[in-house]
Amino acid sequence: MSRRAGCRLFGIPDWTDAAAYAPLIGVERAGFAWEWLRRCPDYGSAARRALDRGDVDVCAEDPRALAWNLHAFADPDLAAPEARPVWSAVAHPWVLPAIARRSGANADSLDLAEFHALATLVSSRRGERLLLSDGFRSIRLDLRGDSLRSSPASLSYELAGIQALERPLLVLRRLRAFAAAGRLVASLHPPPSRAARLIQLLRAYDGLRAGARHIDLADVLLRSGLERGRWRVHSPSVRSQAQRLARAASAMAGSQFWRLLD
């Protein structure tokens, strides 16, 4: 393997270490989208400038972040299980619109004090953006009316249309289960069916950024023990797989990862 192929980029795992990517098993598709966004150099630069200057109110919407389909910048050095990106509904339509009205604590109210470890709340002129997340699964609400910061609130939900009901209704089911169980219920948040492939693409992209060649990708990610000196002759199918893997990883990093949010 080339000398650079195993080097570690800041904030990104060593691509040759499968165990370093193991925490991504079970992460929802939006979590994988975050993994790609945090690897984007332009996003990393914009986020670090904003965060390093200290001019970011973590509770307030940042218009600069909307260019990245976020309501506020999230630290690009945090991996999916630790990061809490609050996606905009434009890119991530799995959002339930609701109206909050201040109320006393009761069985039908939502009290963020009970779930403070899971809650991220971003304020904007149009209301509040609520993310409930354990790092693997999440629920997103767009709220109008009274703030959830100060006291429990009762919620009413804004649903419209027929074809557009599927996503908000699923979010509503997840919210109901969350309120009953006090946690995000795994059965209503199935992980991506192709999680292993998504991790493979991330590792391939990280390898390419670290200077890995196609033969390095093949040796680590496809088939170990290749006869490296004559792999073009003895392993042409593996070489083709490595080339396709590199192209797919580069395409995902370019813009295709946004599809993971829909």
Q: How many domains does the chain have?
A: 2
Q: Are residues 122 and 214 in the same domain?
A: no
Q: Residue 241: CB partners within 8 Å, gap ≥ 6?
A: 218, 222
Q: Examine the fold and report which residue of 147, 162, 188 is the final residue of a domain before the chain moves on.
A: 188
DSSP for 48-74, please give it.
Answer: HHHHHHT---TTB--GGGGGGTBSS--
**Token pair in block for residue 73:** 């910048």
Q: What is the pLDDT of residues 179-225, one digit of tens each?
A: 999 999 999 999 899 999 999 999 999 999 999 999 999 999 997 66
pTM: 0.91
Gap between the Cα atoms of 100 and 192, Å rounded: 32
Q: Examine the fold and report which residue of 170, 188, 206 is the final residue of a domain before the chain moves on.
A: 188
Q: Are residues 117 and 219 in the same domain?
A: no
Question: What is the domain range of residue 79?
Answer: 29-188
Q: Examine the fold and report which residue of 158, 188, 218 is the final residue of a domain before the chain moves on.
A: 188
Residue from 201, 78, 80 nearest 136 by CA: 80
Helix runs in 12-114, H state only: 29-38, 41-53
Q: Are residues 152 and 53 in the same domain?
A: yes
Q: Are residues 117 and 240 in the same domain?
A: no
Q: Are residues 40 and 165 in the same domain?
A: yes
Q: Exposed/middle/buried for 202, CB within 10 Å: 0-12, 13-18, 19+?
A: buried
Gap between the Cα atoms of 39 and 9, Å rounded: 10
Give the confidence band of 3 by pLDDT, cuts at 50, 70, 90. Answer: very low
Gap between the Cα atoms of 186 and 191, Å rounded: 9
pLDDT score recorded for residue 233: 56
